[in-house]
Amino acid sequence: MKWERIVVIVALLMLAWSHYAGLTQDAETDEVYMNLVGRIFYVHVPIAAIGLMVYLVALVTACLALWSGTSKWDAMTEGIIEVGLVMNLLTLVQGSIWGKVTWGTWWDWDPRLTTTAIMFVMFLGILVMREMVEDPDRRMTASAVATIVAAVNVPIVYYSVEWWKEQSIHQGHSDQEGTSAILPWPFRIGMLATVLLCIGLSVMRYRISLAKLKSEREAELPSAPAKLDLEEA
């Protein structure tokens, strides 16, 4: 079994424990303002936070692909963006569920929600572009440049709850005062599990993408000239 599969399995087990521990803990340890609803913290925050970091890693691999011109970094960027999109979508879905219970609506044009949705569309556009560009070199340059430009949105998403505080109904960055003492462990394990899950899934997608790129490159090479039969000539 390849190491990334083991990492994914371990991560899923850790994630299952962290969710179980977070969601079934004693009511007295609930978040002071949201009570029971606040338990989505254990599920939503690791996905949302690590999802943002995944895009930052994509930014690094895109820079490496652009300046080294190596296929492996291009394949890595594609794999990471795919995982980032899954995290991004999960963030939006989980946030909507939480929003329905807390705000009474599935969606609000809150700066955090809006910028997260924009980020999803931006990175989705990059994957769509990759499918439409046939030349591997041009595809690498185009997707690396688009990834670097799109990654500018990551700090905007992170700081949106501070920059547009007046317009935002999303809670600000959490701190120790607003959370229970027991919270950190299920939360920390959840964060670690999400990091491992993203690493494992990204490597799995990277291998698939690299194999596809290699087959494309091989197809591009000119076929060897047919052997001349000198005797017949």
**Footprint on this chain of other proteins (rule: CB under 8 A):** 66, 114-115, 118-119, 121-122, 125-126, 128-129, 132-133, 137-138, 141-142, 144-146, 148-150, 152-153, 156
In the numeric block, the tokens 């962290």 are attached to: 18
Distance in angstroms (rounded) separating the CA atoms of residues 55 and 48: 11
For residue 59, the minimal CB distance to other proteins (Å) is: 11
Q: Least distance in Å: CB of 226 to other proteins?
A: 33
Least Å from the CB of residue 126 to other proteins:
7
Q: In angstroms, rounded to a whole number, what is the distance separating the alpha carbons of residues 165 and 159?
A: 10
In whole angstroms, the minimum distance from the beta carbon of 119 to other proteins comes to: 8
Which CB sits closer to other proteins, 43 or 150? 150
Contacts of 213 (CB under 8 A, 6+ apart): 71, 74, 75, 136
Q: How far apart are CA 69 and CA 65, in angstroms?
A: 5
Nearer to other proteins, 119 or 213 (CB): 119
Distance CA 52, CA 88 (A): 8
Given the complex with other proteins, which of 86 and 148 has the nearer CB atom? Answer: 148
- Report the nearest approach of other proteins to the CB of residue 91 (Å): 16
**226 three-state secondary structure:** coil
CB of 228 to other proteins, least distance (A): 37
Nearer to other proteins, 36 or 121 (CB): 121
Name the residue nearer to other proteins (CB basis): 16 or 156. Answer: 156
DSSP labels for 147-176? Answer: HHHHTTHHHHHHHHHHHTTTT--S-----G
As measured in angstroms, the least distance from the Cβ of 6 to other proteins is 37
Least Cα distance to 27 among 15, 14, 36, 37 occurs for 36
The residue (of 111 and 190) whose beta carbon lies closer to other proteins is 111
d(CA 220, CA 180): 59
Comparison of 130 and 205: residue with beta carbon closer to other proteins: 130
d(CA 197, CA 202): 8
Q: Are 75 and 209 in contact (CB under 8 A)?
A: yes
